[in-house]
Amino acid sequence: MVERRAGAAGAARRRRAAWWPVVAMLAAALPAGCDGEEATPARIVAHVLVPDGVNPLVGLTRLVLTFQKPNVATFVETIPDDVGTRTELVFTYTFPESEATAVLEVTAEDATGSVRARGRSIPFDIVSGRTLSVGVLVLTPGQWSLAPATLRLATARMLHGAAVTGDGGLMVAGGSTATGVTQTVELFDLNAMAPVPPADVPVLPAARSRFAMLALNADQILLVGGVTASTQADLWNGPAATWTPLPLPAGVPEVWAGPRFATLGDGSALLWGGLDGSDAPVSAFVRADAAGLRKLDGTADRNDPAGVPIQTPDGLRFLVVGGNEPGMPFAALLDPATGAIEDDLTPSVVDEVRTRHTVIRVGASRAVVAGGYDATGRLATSVWIFDGACLDPAAGCSVWSAAGPMLAAVGGMADAVGVGIDPGHEDPRAVLVGGVDATDRPVADAVILNTVTGLAVRYPLRTPRAQGAVVRLPTGQIGYVGGLDAGGNPLDTIELFEPPAL
């Protein structure tokens, strides 16, 4: 038997500061059952949260809360008439026993039963004898929304980094502010949708802007490069809440502005591209993990190609495409262990030339090349799709395929950020968001590219943004953090996007 109890949202909000977690869900111990007695049940306090500004629950009829766990449990709640005046709805559920990792999914329906808003929690455990608070932010699918006001950055910034921590946190670090390069760090609890107290978050060892920031694993985040000279990278150790210096290997410049990076799925990452202190292209490939950084033997023969790890019939390889060599197409597969070119794919992309573009992984062996400039110096609207499985001659398919001018509706985008919607589950879609137009002004464009249907659908941002950070949250939502607006000002807001169902 599972019981539920509606909560008073106002009272819950007043109590939140006292009992919501800091980068972890609260586990308040309840009296355990004595020997021979039934154990004390688990209690889940579900907080259904809404974004800042437009409340997606207004005018809707009911909420369906589904606990996805070994024994699925679903509850239906009526949305109150005064929901437009609230920032959250609170419900309490009691479970008779512990259950392993669960996820709470929430959908909001109108009077016809159509789903108009949805969201999901980060994973949690149902533990007998404990009370856990679980937050779910519901958004209108296919619409960018401002994150709750509790997720507003304390410092407006651009050219910064952002990464998700394994315990359900979002870290935002460094960047350029209205007063210069900063070493400040902000950490948010994605369960409570609230900031961690600044006193609990050490600043960076040194100020950084225009650097690489990536999560190596659940506990460690790596920062490399930037416009400020440094002989070290910085490694965040989550459990200890400390920064550890990692020396840069010989041959890597102390000023490394705008390095590109990609995680390889094994706790390591590859870094390349960018510029040194003389604005000369950095040709090195660097392999990084929690133990340190090492320069690979292979080098890039052009400035700033884009790339992603990709599965091929011969194992994991690294696909690099394009770069700042006007009129010179380039694509290759590298050995991620050495940086050496194993397969020159340039002839297969015909005359495709790209600069200031991105490559987005949309599956284990598939990627899409989008955005940037073509050989004529115009914003490219065509999209190319790579399929590593087709490297096997027996597959009988093309390694490269043209998806046509999928970005024609927005006129193209340079310096946009791309992220796969769910590459781990072979979702064929990618989001290309932000960046600049042909005059280098930030744009409010965001486009979902479907690499199977060849269709592109525009989902505009609420604010033009460039030079920000884009992350895929553990809830499946996509966030654009900070950035530069069309007026040249750094932003302190986060926009969130719930992708429409496939």
Cβ atoms 383, 449 nearer than 8 A: yes
Cβ atoms 73, 4 nearer than 8 A: no
CA distance linking residue 496 with residue 245, whole number of Å: 32
> What are the phi and psi torsion angles at 389 (to 5°)?
-65, -25
pLDDT at 182: 98
Residue 307: alpha-carbon gap to chain centroid: 17
- Sign, CA dihedral 156-171-16-3, equals positive
Residues of the chain with pLDDT under 50: 1-3, 5-37
pLDDT at 334: 95
Cβ atoms 430, 449 nearer than 8 A: yes
pLDDT at 346: 77
pLDDT at 354: 87
pLDDT at 502: 87
Structure token digits, residue 211: 């650097």
Nearest to 498 by CA among 450, 446, 451: 446
Domain 3-137, CATH class in plain words: mainly beta
Cβ atoms 87, 76 nearer than 8 A: no
pLDDT at 167: 85
Amino acid at residue number 447? V
Beta strands 169-173; 185-189: pairing state: antiparallel
pLDDT at 326: 55
Please state the domain extents for the chain.
3-137, 210-300
Question: Would the pTM of this model clear 0.95, i.e. be above it?
Answer: no
pLDDT at 105: 98
Cβ neighbors of 267 (< 8 A, separation 6 or more) are 216, 217, 289, 290
| Burial bucket for residue 26 (CB in 10 Å: 0-12, 13-18, 19+) | middle
pLDDT at 21: 39
pLDDT at 323: 85
